[in-house]
Amino acid sequence: MGRLASKGADRAEELTSFIVTVRDRDAIGSVALKLEALGIDVERVMKRTGVLGGRGPVRLLSKITALPGVKHAREERRYQLPPLHDSIPQ
């Protein structure tokens, strides 16, 4: 297996965080169960907004998106602000 194929395989098994929006907020519990059955560790269930947060292998993103009841799914992105500096007013 070439280096590029190997890197792609490594990326597929890499764990990432997901944000999932459901079509019907009342069905959020059943979507959470489906995600867990796929192997996603559901960490947050926000019924009021219809959003779930969880963690699992990157390769599952297409399967998450195809689940009945899922409106949208994406990898969660993280941001970090630079450290505070005395020369910059707060």
Contacts of 17 (CB under 8 A, 6+ apart): 43, 53, 54, 55, 75, 76, 78
For residues 50 and 46, give the distance between their C-alpha atoms in angstroms, rounded to a whole number. Answer: 6
For residues 54 and 89, give the distance between their C-alpha atoms in angstroms, rounded to a whole number. Answer: 37
For residues 81 and 20, give the distance between their C-alpha atoms in angstroms, rounded to a whole number. Answer: 25
- Model confidence, pTM: 0.75
Q: 59: pLDDT confidence band, cut at 50, 70 and 90?
A: very high
The pLDDT of residue 11: 67
Read off the pLDDT of residues 7-47 as tens digits, 9 standing for 90 and up: 656 666 789 999 999 999 999 999 999 999 999 999 999 99
The pLDDT of residue 4: 54
